[in-house]
Amino acid sequence: MFLKIEKIVNKKNKSKIICLTAYSKNVAEALDNYTDIILIGDSLGSVLYNYNTTRKVSLDMMIEHSKSARMGIKKSLMVVDMPYKTYRNKNEALRNAKKIIKLTKCDAVKLEGGSSIIKIVEYLIKNKIQVMGHLGILPQSVREKFKFKGKKENERKRIFKEAKLLEIKGVFSIVLEGVESSLAKKISKSLKIPTIGIGSSVHCDGQVLVTDDLLGLNDTKIKFVKKFANIKNQIKKAAQKFRSEVINKKYPTKKHSYS
Protein backbone atom coordinates (compact mmCIF):
# COMPACT_ATOMS: atom_id res chain seq x y z
CA MET A 1 0.00 0.00 0.00
CA PHE A 2 2.63 2.53 1.12
CA LEU A 3 4.84 1.84 -1.89
CA LYS A 4 1.90 2.53 -4.20
CA ILE A 5 1.13 5.78 -2.37
CA GLU A 6 4.78 6.83 -2.56
CA LYS A 7 4.84 6.07 -6.27
CA ILE A 8 1.84 8.37 -6.84
CA VAL A 9 3.35 11.20 -4.78
CA ASN A 10 6.69 10.86 -6.59
CA LYS A 11 5.02 11.49 -9.95
CA LYS A 12 4.54 15.13 -8.90
CA ASN A 13 6.22 17.42 -11.49
CA LYS A 14 7.48 14.36 -13.39
CA SER A 15 4.60 12.71 -15.21
CA LYS A 16 0.83 13.07 -15.28
CA ILE A 17 -1.27 10.84 -13.03
CA ILE A 18 -4.07 8.91 -14.73
CA CYS A 19 -7.20 8.17 -12.70
CA LEU A 20 -10.48 6.61 -13.85
CA THR A 21 -13.53 5.20 -12.09
CA ALA A 22 -14.64 1.57 -11.98
CA TYR A 23 -17.51 -0.16 -10.24
CA SER A 24 -16.95 -3.76 -11.37
CA LYS A 25 -14.22 -6.33 -11.99
CA ASN A 26 -14.52 -6.33 -15.78
CA VAL A 27 -14.14 -2.57 -16.15
CA ALA A 28 -11.38 -2.32 -13.52
CA GLU A 29 -9.46 -5.11 -15.25
CA ALA A 30 -9.70 -3.34 -18.61
CA LEU A 31 -8.43 -0.07 -17.13
CA ASP A 32 -5.70 -1.35 -14.82
CA ASN A 33 -2.79 -1.32 -17.27
CA TYR A 34 -3.48 2.28 -18.26
CA THR A 35 -4.23 3.93 -14.91
CA ASP A 36 -2.23 4.94 -11.86
CA ILE A 37 -5.34 5.20 -9.68
CA ILE A 38 -8.71 3.50 -9.98
CA LEU A 39 -11.39 5.31 -8.01
CA ILE A 40 -14.51 3.51 -6.89
CA GLY A 41 -16.52 6.70 -6.80
CA ASP A 42 -19.90 7.41 -5.31
CA SER A 43 -20.65 8.67 -8.82
CA LEU A 44 -21.95 5.11 -9.21
CA GLY A 45 -25.18 6.51 -7.75
CA SER A 46 -25.94 8.47 -10.91
CA VAL A 47 -24.06 6.23 -13.35
CA LEU A 48 -25.53 2.89 -12.30
CA TYR A 49 -28.62 3.69 -10.24
CA ASN A 50 -29.87 6.87 -11.89
CA TYR A 51 -29.89 8.77 -8.60
CA ASN A 52 -30.07 12.55 -8.87
CA THR A 53 -27.56 12.91 -6.03
CA THR A 54 -24.65 10.97 -4.58
CA ARG A 55 -26.26 11.42 -1.16
CA LYS A 56 -28.39 8.34 -1.79
CA VAL A 57 -25.37 6.06 -2.11
CA SER A 58 -24.94 3.78 0.89
CA LEU A 59 -21.84 2.34 2.52
CA ASP A 60 -22.95 -1.20 1.61
CA MET A 61 -23.29 -0.22 -2.05
CA MET A 62 -19.79 1.24 -2.09
CA ILE A 63 -18.36 -1.85 -0.42
CA GLU A 64 -20.01 -4.36 -2.77
CA HIS A 65 -18.93 -2.52 -5.92
CA SER A 66 -15.44 -2.04 -4.49
CA LYS A 67 -15.12 -5.76 -3.75
CA SER A 68 -15.96 -6.48 -7.37
CA ALA A 69 -13.53 -3.87 -8.72
CA ARG A 70 -10.75 -5.12 -6.43
CA MET A 71 -10.72 -8.44 -8.30
CA GLY A 72 -9.74 -6.62 -11.48
CA ILE A 73 -7.09 -4.33 -9.99
CA LYS A 74 -3.54 -5.63 -9.87
CA LYS A 75 -1.32 -2.61 -10.60
CA SER A 76 -3.21 0.61 -9.87
CA LEU A 77 -3.76 2.28 -6.52
CA MET A 78 -7.35 1.61 -5.43
CA VAL A 79 -9.22 4.48 -3.75
CA VAL A 80 -12.79 4.25 -2.44
CA ASP A 81 -15.12 7.19 -1.84
CA MET A 82 -16.59 7.41 1.64
CA PRO A 83 -20.29 8.12 0.99
CA TYR A 84 -22.48 10.82 2.49
CA LYS A 85 -23.11 10.59 6.24
CA THR A 86 -20.38 8.02 6.86
CA TYR A 87 -17.82 10.47 8.29
CA ARG A 88 -19.86 12.94 10.33
CA ASN A 89 -17.51 12.63 13.30
CA LYS A 90 -14.09 11.11 14.05
CA ASN A 91 -15.30 7.82 15.49
CA GLU A 92 -17.85 7.20 12.75
CA ALA A 93 -15.27 8.01 10.10
CA LEU A 94 -12.65 5.68 11.54
CA ARG A 95 -15.11 2.84 12.02
CA ASN A 96 -16.40 3.10 8.45
CA ALA A 97 -12.97 3.63 6.90
CA LYS A 98 -11.66 0.52 8.63
CA LYS A 99 -14.71 -1.41 7.44
CA ILE A 100 -14.17 -0.30 3.84
CA ILE A 101 -10.48 -1.20 3.91
CA LYS A 102 -11.02 -4.54 5.62
CA LEU A 103 -13.78 -5.71 3.27
CA THR A 104 -12.49 -4.27 -0.02
CA LYS A 105 -8.71 -4.37 0.52
CA CYS A 106 -8.47 -0.88 -0.98
CA ASP A 107 -5.38 1.28 -0.54
CA ALA A 108 -7.03 4.53 0.52
CA VAL A 109 -10.31 6.37 1.02
CA LYS A 110 -11.46 9.75 -0.31
CA LEU A 111 -13.39 12.37 1.67
CA GLU A 112 -15.01 15.56 0.39
CA GLY A 113 -14.35 18.87 2.09
CA GLY A 114 -11.77 21.10 3.73
CA SER A 115 -12.00 23.01 7.00
CA SER A 116 -15.26 21.35 8.05
CA ILE A 117 -13.70 17.87 8.08
CA ILE A 118 -10.05 18.65 8.78
CA LYS A 119 -10.09 17.14 12.29
CA ILE A 120 -11.67 13.98 10.89
CA VAL A 121 -9.01 13.74 8.17
CA GLU A 122 -6.29 14.27 10.76
CA TYR A 123 -7.76 11.56 13.00
CA LEU A 124 -7.94 9.03 10.18
CA ILE A 125 -4.35 9.67 9.14
CA LYS A 126 -3.14 9.39 12.75
CA ASN A 127 -4.83 5.98 12.74
CA LYS A 128 -2.86 4.95 9.64
CA ILE A 129 -5.69 5.41 7.12
CA GLN A 130 -4.46 6.78 3.79
CA VAL A 131 -6.67 9.71 2.70
CA MET A 132 -7.23 11.46 -0.61
CA GLY A 133 -8.78 14.92 -0.32
CA HIS A 134 -11.44 16.52 -2.52
CA LEU A 135 -12.02 20.28 -2.96
CA GLY A 136 -13.94 22.55 -5.32
CA ILE A 137 -17.31 21.18 -6.32
CA LEU A 138 -18.40 18.78 -3.58
CA PRO A 139 -21.18 16.56 -5.01
CA GLN A 140 -22.22 15.32 -1.56
CA SER A 141 -22.87 18.93 -0.50
CA VAL A 142 -24.36 20.38 -3.69
CA ARG A 143 -28.13 20.82 -3.79
CA GLU A 144 -28.35 23.15 -6.76
CA LYS A 145 -26.81 22.97 -10.24
CA PHE A 146 -23.06 22.39 -10.21
CA LYS A 147 -21.08 25.63 -10.64
CA PHE A 148 -17.32 25.90 -10.97
CA LYS A 149 -15.46 27.21 -7.95
CA GLY A 150 -12.90 29.99 -7.62
CA LYS A 151 -14.58 32.87 -9.38
CA LYS A 152 -14.92 35.04 -6.26
CA GLU A 153 -11.84 36.16 -4.35
CA ASN A 154 -13.05 34.95 -0.95
CA GLU A 155 -13.80 31.54 -2.44
CA ARG A 156 -10.35 31.38 -4.04
CA LYS A 157 -8.67 32.19 -0.74
CA ARG A 158 -10.72 29.59 1.12
CA ILE A 159 -10.03 26.76 -1.36
CA PHE A 160 -6.31 27.57 -1.47
CA LYS A 161 -6.11 27.66 2.32
CA GLU A 162 -7.98 24.36 2.61
CA ALA A 163 -5.67 22.70 0.09
CA LYS A 164 -2.62 23.74 2.12
CA LEU A 165 -4.32 22.59 5.33
CA LEU A 166 -5.15 19.16 3.90
CA GLU A 167 -1.54 18.78 2.81
CA ILE A 168 -0.27 19.71 6.28
CA LYS A 169 -2.60 17.15 7.88
CA GLY A 170 -1.22 14.39 5.67
CA VAL A 171 -3.44 13.63 2.66
CA PHE A 172 -1.38 12.10 -0.16
CA SER A 173 -3.26 13.86 -2.98
CA ILE A 174 -6.25 16.13 -3.60
CA VAL A 175 -8.96 15.96 -6.25
CA LEU A 176 -9.80 19.43 -7.54
CA GLU A 177 -13.27 19.34 -9.09
CA GLY A 178 -14.54 22.25 -11.14
CA VAL A 179 -11.89 24.64 -9.86
CA GLU A 180 -11.11 27.74 -11.95
CA SER A 181 -7.99 27.22 -14.07
CA SER A 182 -5.66 29.83 -12.59
CA LEU A 183 -6.56 28.78 -9.04
CA ALA A 184 -5.98 25.10 -9.88
CA LYS A 185 -2.58 26.09 -11.29
CA LYS A 186 -1.70 28.09 -8.17
CA ILE A 187 -2.71 25.23 -5.85
CA SER A 188 -0.85 22.63 -7.90
CA LYS A 189 2.35 24.70 -7.93
CA SER A 190 2.12 25.42 -4.19
CA LEU A 191 1.60 21.85 -2.98
CA LYS A 192 4.21 19.13 -2.66
CA ILE A 193 1.51 16.48 -3.05
CA PRO A 194 -0.23 15.88 -6.41
CA THR A 195 -3.53 17.36 -7.49
CA ILE A 196 -5.94 15.32 -9.60
CA GLY A 197 -8.14 17.51 -11.74
CA ILE A 198 -11.64 17.03 -13.06
CA GLY A 199 -12.79 20.12 -14.89
CA SER A 200 -9.86 22.02 -13.35
CA SER A 201 -7.50 22.53 -16.31
CA VAL A 202 -4.33 20.92 -17.59
CA HIS A 203 -2.33 22.50 -14.77
CA CYS A 204 -3.22 19.74 -12.30
CA ASP A 205 -0.75 16.90 -11.74
CA GLY A 206 -3.23 14.33 -13.03
CA GLN A 207 -6.73 13.93 -14.40
CA VAL A 208 -9.75 11.83 -13.48
CA LEU A 209 -12.93 11.13 -15.42
CA VAL A 210 -15.94 8.94 -14.84
CA THR A 211 -15.26 6.01 -17.15
CA ASP A 212 -18.86 5.77 -18.36
CA ASP A 213 -18.58 9.40 -19.51
CA LEU A 214 -15.26 8.73 -21.25
CA LEU A 215 -16.83 5.77 -23.08
CA GLY A 216 -19.90 7.69 -24.22
CA LEU A 217 -22.30 5.52 -22.24
CA ASN A 218 -23.90 8.60 -20.68
CA ASP A 219 -25.51 11.55 -22.40
CA THR A 220 -23.52 13.89 -20.18
CA LYS A 221 -23.49 17.56 -21.17
CA ILE A 222 -20.94 18.70 -18.59
CA LYS A 223 -18.34 21.10 -20.06
CA PHE A 224 -15.25 19.19 -18.96
CA VAL A 225 -16.38 15.76 -20.19
CA LYS A 226 -14.82 14.51 -23.41
CA LYS A 227 -16.10 11.31 -25.01
CA PHE A 228 -13.14 9.22 -26.12
CA ALA A 229 -15.41 6.50 -27.53
CA ASN A 230 -19.08 5.87 -28.27
CA ILE A 231 -19.70 2.47 -26.73
CA LYS A 232 -23.46 3.07 -26.62
CA ASN A 233 -23.61 2.94 -30.42
CA GLN A 234 -21.59 -0.28 -30.44
CA ILE A 235 -23.97 -1.83 -27.92
CA LYS A 236 -26.92 -0.86 -30.10
CA LYS A 237 -25.29 -2.36 -33.18
CA ALA A 238 -24.47 -5.60 -31.35
CA ALA A 239 -28.03 -5.89 -30.00
CA GLN A 240 -29.46 -5.20 -33.46
CA LYS A 241 -27.25 -7.89 -35.01
CA PHE A 242 -28.19 -10.38 -32.27
CA ARG A 243 -31.88 -9.66 -32.85
CA SER A 244 -31.51 -10.14 -36.60
CA GLU A 245 -29.66 -13.46 -36.31
CA VAL A 246 -32.12 -14.88 -33.79
CA ILE A 247 -35.15 -13.89 -35.88
CA ASN A 248 -33.55 -15.31 -39.05
CA LYS A 249 -32.46 -18.49 -37.24
CA LYS A 250 -28.78 -17.80 -37.86
CA TYR A 251 -28.04 -17.99 -34.15
CA PRO A 252 -27.44 -20.28 -32.39
CA THR A 253 -25.75 -22.52 -34.93
CA LYS A 254 -24.49 -26.06 -34.21
CA LYS A 255 -21.23 -24.46 -33.15
CA HIS A 256 -23.05 -22.73 -30.27
CA SER A 257 -25.21 -25.72 -29.32
CA TYR A 258 -24.61 -28.88 -27.31
CA SER A 259 -25.07 -32.28 -28.91
- Residue 167 designated active-site: no
- Choose the catalytic residue: 112, 122, 177, 180: 177
Question: Which residues have a Cβ under 8 Å from the Cβ of 243 and sit 6 or more positions away?
Answer: none
Contact 125, 152 (CB under 8 A): no
- For 32-51, the DSSP string reads GGG-SEEEE-TTHHHHHH--
Across the strands, what pairs with 174? 133, 195
Report CA torsion sign: 238, 243, 248, 253.
positive
Decide: residue 45, CB within 10 A, 0-12 exposed, 13-18 middle, 19+ buried.
Answer: buried
Q: Are 34 and 14 in contact (CB under 8 A)?
A: no
Catalytic residues: 177
